[in-house]
Amino acid sequence: MAKKVALLQGNEACAHGALYAGAKFFGGYPITPSTEVAEVLSIELPKVGGKFIQMEDEIAAMASIIGASLTGAKVITATSGPGVSLKQELIGYACIAEVPCVIINVMRGGPSTGMPTGPGQSDVMQARWGTHGDHAAIALVPASCQEIFTETVRAFNLAEKYRMPVQVLYDEIVGHMRERIVFPEPGELEVIDRAKPTVPPEQYKPYDTSFGDVPPLAAFGSEYRFHVTGLNKAQDGFPTTKAEYVDAEERRQISKVENEKARADIESNEEYLTEDAEVLIFAYGSTSRSARYAVNELRKEGIKAGLFRPITLWPFPEKRVALLGKQVKAIIVPEMNLGQMNLEVERVVKGTCPVISIGRVDGEPLNPGQIIAQVKEVK
C-alpha cells in the first residue's frame, strides 16, 4: 500500500508527529504562530482516547502537562517565545522533578510581544538557559515539515528516555509553510516508552541511582506511591538540605544529558560539502535552507563553502564544531537574532578561526543573498 502523503504546514506536521509518538495529553494556551499544533490535536487526540485542554494561561498549560505526565501519559504543549518566557518557572520544575514532557516553541521575534506573525530564531539561548538554576537542556531544531514530524517523535523519545523536558524549536517560516509529508508507517520510526520501575512498590524511590543516571519514573494511580517536589530532594523524592545529597542530585541531572554516551545518543547533525570546505556556514532551522542555497550558488563560482546544520542544538555539538574550526578559514553564523549561537560557536572554536555573525531581526527571512555576500567578503 502506498504511504499516506499530504501537503502539511510545519505546525500540522508537528501535531501528527506527536500522535505518532503516542502523545495522549496536550495542555496549551493560544499563541501565534503555534496555534495550528493545538488545533490539530484538539481534533485528533480525543479520537485516540487522548485529552486536549486549553488552560487559562501559559504557566497553567505547562503545569497541566507535568501533572498529566506524572500519571504516565506522554504529554506535549506548544507555544512561542513569550509563552516559553512564562513557562520557564515550570520548565525548571520538570527539570528538577525529572518529568518527561515535550515543549514546542514556534519562534517569532522579541523581546516581549515583538512581531507575532514574523519569523525569528531568538529563543535559542532561552531554550538552553531559560529557567533559574543549573540544569541540562535538550533542544531540537528541525528545518522542514517532514523533519518537524520526525524530530517531534524524537523529542518524545528523548523526553521519556532522559526523563526531562525537551524543546523543539522552529521558526514561523517552517511552522507555517506547507510541504509534502510522507507519513511513516507504524514501526518505521523508533518510539520509546518510559521505563517502568522493576522493584516492588515498598522499595521504590523515584530518584534511585542504583538504576543509573535516569531512574525509572512510576505513574500516579499505579501500584506505586511516591512524593514529587520542586525542592532539592534526596533519592527517595523527599526534600532535603543535606549538602551531599543536593550536590549529587544536581550534578547527576546535568551529567545524564552531557556525558559522552548520552551526547552521542542525543546529538544529531547534517553536514553538506564540509570535507573540503574553506568557509563553513553554521546554520539551523529555516536559515539552514538559505545557507544550503547559498552553498550551491557559491560552489558554482568555485568558492569552497560548506554547511554544518545542527538538528540537535542543545547539547551543543562541541567536538565536531571545534574540529571544523581548525579546518576552515572562517565560520559564518547566519541566524534570525543578533548573534546568539554565534557566541556558542565562538566559545567552542576557541579562536582557531574567525567567527562571523549575520543577524537579522526585522521580521524578514534571512535570505541566501546575505550569506553569499558575507562568504565572498571572507574570501
Q: Of the candidates 34, 321, 368, 375, which one interacts with another protein according to CB under 8 A?
A: 368
Task: Rule CB under 8 A: say whether 207 interacts with another protein.
Answer: no
The C-alpha torsion from 184 through 185 and 187 to 188, rounded to 10°, is -40
Q: Within 299-358, which residues bind another protein (CB under 8 A)?
A: none
Strands lying side by side in the sheet with 75-79: 51-54, 25-28, 75-79, 101-107, 165-171, 138-140, 312-314
Minimum CB separation from another protein for residue 336, in Å?
13
Minimum CB separation from another protein for residue 286, in Å?
7
Q: Say which DSSP state 259 is in.
A: S
Task: Rule CB under 8 A: say whether 89 interacts with another protein.
Answer: yes
Minimum CB separation from another protein for residue 145, in Å?
9
Q: Within 237-266, which residues bind another protein (CB under 8 A)?
A: 238-239
Q: Within 55-74, which residues bind another protein (CB under 8 A)?
A: 55-57, 59-61, 63-73
Minimum CB separation from another protein for residue 369, in Å?
8
CB atoms within 10 A of CB 243: 9
Give the interface size with another protein as a residue count (CB under 8 A): 66
Residue 254 exposed, middle or buried by CB count within 10 Å (0-12, 13-18, 19+): middle
Minimum CB separation from another protein for residue 178, in Å?
4
- Looking at the Cβ atoms of 172 and 346, the one nearer to another protein is 172
The C-alpha torsion from 218 through 219 and 220 to 226, rounded to 10°, is 10
Q: Within 113-132, which residues bind another protein (CB under 8 A)?
A: 116-117
Residue 221's Cβ-side half-sphere holds a number of Cα atoms within 13 Å equal to: 7
Task: Rule CB under 8 A: say whether 6 interacts with another protein.
Answer: yes
Residues 169, 122 contacting (CB under 8 angstroms): no
Minimum CB separation from another protein for residue 204, in Å?
12
Contacts 24+ apart (CB under 8 A), 193-197: 193/22, 193/160, 194/72, 194/74, 194/100, 194/160, 194/163, 195/161, 197/224
Q: Within 147-206, which residues bind another protein (CB under 8 A)?
A: 173-174, 176-180
Options 103-111, 186-194, 247-255, 291-299: segment touching another protein (CB under 8 A): 291-299
Q: Of the candidates 134, 185, 193, 229, which one interacts with another protein according to CB under 8 A?
A: 229
280: left (phi over 0), alpha (psi -120 to 50) or beta: beta
Residues 168, 311 contacting (CB under 8 angstroms): no
CA 28 to chain centroid: 17
Options 45-53, 152-160, 242-250, 351-359: segment touching another protein (CB under 8 A): 45-53
Task: Rule CB under 8 A: say whether 216 interacts with another protein.
Answer: no
Options 22-30, 104-112, 248-256, 257-265: segment touching another protein (CB under 8 A): 22-30
- Looking at the Cβ atoms of 135 and 176, the one nearer to another protein is 176
Minimum CB separation from another protein for residue 229, in Å?
4
Among 212, 202, 263, 268, which Cα is nearest to 236's?
A: 202
Q: Of the candidates 184, 216, 230, 354, which one interacts with another protein according to CB under 8 A?
A: 230
- Please name every residue paired with 314 in a beta bridge, in sequence order, or none if there are none: 139
Q: Of the candidates 12, 20, 25, 267, which one interacts with another protein according to CB under 8 A?
A: 25
Q: How far is CA 357 from CA 184, 243, 262, 331, 339, in A?
A: 37, 42, 30, 9, 6
Residue 351's Cβ-side half-sphere holds a number of Cα atoms within 13 Å equal to: 0
Task: Rule CB under 8 A: say whether 292 interacts with another protein.
Answer: yes
Residue 200 dihedral angles phi and psi, to the nearest 5°? -65, 150
The residue ranges that bind another protein (CB under 8 A) are 5-7, 24-25, 27, 43, 46-47, 49, 51, 53, 55-57, 59-61, 63-73, 75, 89-90, 93, 116-117, 173-174, 176-180, 220-231, 238-239, 286, 289-290, 292-293, 296, 365, 367-369
